[in-house]
Amino acid sequence: MSPGDQTAPLVLVTWPDYDVDHPALGGALTAAGLELRLAPKLAARSPDELADLLTGAMGAIVSTDPFTADVLETAIDLRVIARVGVGVDSIDLDAASARGVQVATTPGANEHAVADHAVGLMLAVLRRIPQLDRDVRAGGWHRTGPVTPRQLTGATVGLVGYGHIGRRVAARLRGFDVQLLVHDPALPAGDPETSIALDDLLRRSDVVSLHCPLMSSTRHLIDARALALMRPEAVLVNTSRGGVVDERALLAALRGGSIAGAALDVFEGEPPAGSPLLELDNVVVSPHNAGLSTTSVAEMTRRATQAVLDVAAGGVVTDLVNVQALDARAPAPVRARKGVGA
C-alpha cells in the first residue's frame, strides 16, 4: 500500500523492554501487517496520557496502565487489551466488555516467579539481609544485638489467599518446616487445606503473606484493626496488590511497634516516591516485579502478543477475562485504515 493512502493497524505497547525484533513478539506483529507504537510505562501514567497513546490503536500490549471507562470511551478503534500479567484491577472490565474490547491475561506464566519472590521477601525481612548489607557497605560489622536475624524455619506462616500462587508458596515453605495457616473463603469443598478465619490467622502467624486479588471485598483488607490483631514480632509480606493494605495504618503499626516489619513488592501508589514507608529500616521493598523473571517475561510477552494476533485475525483470545465482550462486538479481521497524512 502506498504511503499516505492507507496505514497499518496500530498496536500500542507499554510493556517495558518489549523486543520489537523477536520473531514471536514485535517481528510477528509486523509480519502480520501491524504497526507498533512503543510507550513503555516506567512511572505513573494518567488516564489522559493513556487516552492519547491509544489514538488509532486496535490493540494494546500493556503493563498496569489505567484503562478507565473514560479512556475506553475515547479508544474507538481498540479491540483487545493484552495484559502482561494476571492483574486486571487497572482495567474497567465492564466498560471494556460494553465496547466489545477483549481483555486477555497470561495466567500461570508468572506463578513460580511470584512464589520464589514471596519466600525471598520473607527471608530478607526476617534475616535482615538488606539492613545488614547496608551496614557492612558503610563499614559496620554488627552481627548481634538489635540486628540479630530470625529464622523462617519453625515459624507459623499465614497465607491470605490460596489460589495457584498461594499453593506454590506453601509448597516451598514446607521445606522450612513451618506451620501453615490458610485463609481463603473461596477454597473449594474437599480441599485438603482448611480455611480458618482471617482474625485467627492474624493472631497466630509470625509471617502473614498476601496472595489475594484486589477487589471491593479485599481493598484495605489489612487495615488498622487487622494489624492490631497481629503479633508484635510478626511481619507482613505483600506480593499481591498494594490496595489490599491500608498503607497509613501499616506505617503507624510499624512506627509504633505493633508489628516487627514488612516486605512489600506492591504499593497503593506506584512507584511509591516520597512514601514514608521507604524511610523505615524494618521495611524491605521491591518494584512490583515479583512475577518477573527472564523465563516469565518471555512467556507472558509471547502470549500477550499472540492475543493481539488472534484478534487481528478475527479470532478470540485464549485467556479471555471478559467473555461478555464477545456479545458486544462480533470478531472480525482488522483492516488497514485510511491514512491521515502520517
Q: Which residues are catalytic?
A: 241, 270, 288
Distance CA 305, CA 144 (A): 51
User: Could you tell me where the DSSP H helices lie in 147-239?
Assistant: 164-173, 198-204, 224-229
Residue type at 58 in one-letter notation: M
C-alpha cell, 216: 471491593
Task: Give the count of beta carbons closer than 10 Å to the beta carbon of residue 77.
Answer: 14
SS3 call for 138: coil
C-alpha cell, 287: 518494584
> Residue 258 gets which letter from DSSP?
S
C-alpha cell, 304: 500477550
Please name the residues in contact with 295: beta carbons below 8 A apart, sequence gap of 6 or more. Answer: 112, 113
Of 266, 235, 269, the C-alpha closest to 253 is: 235
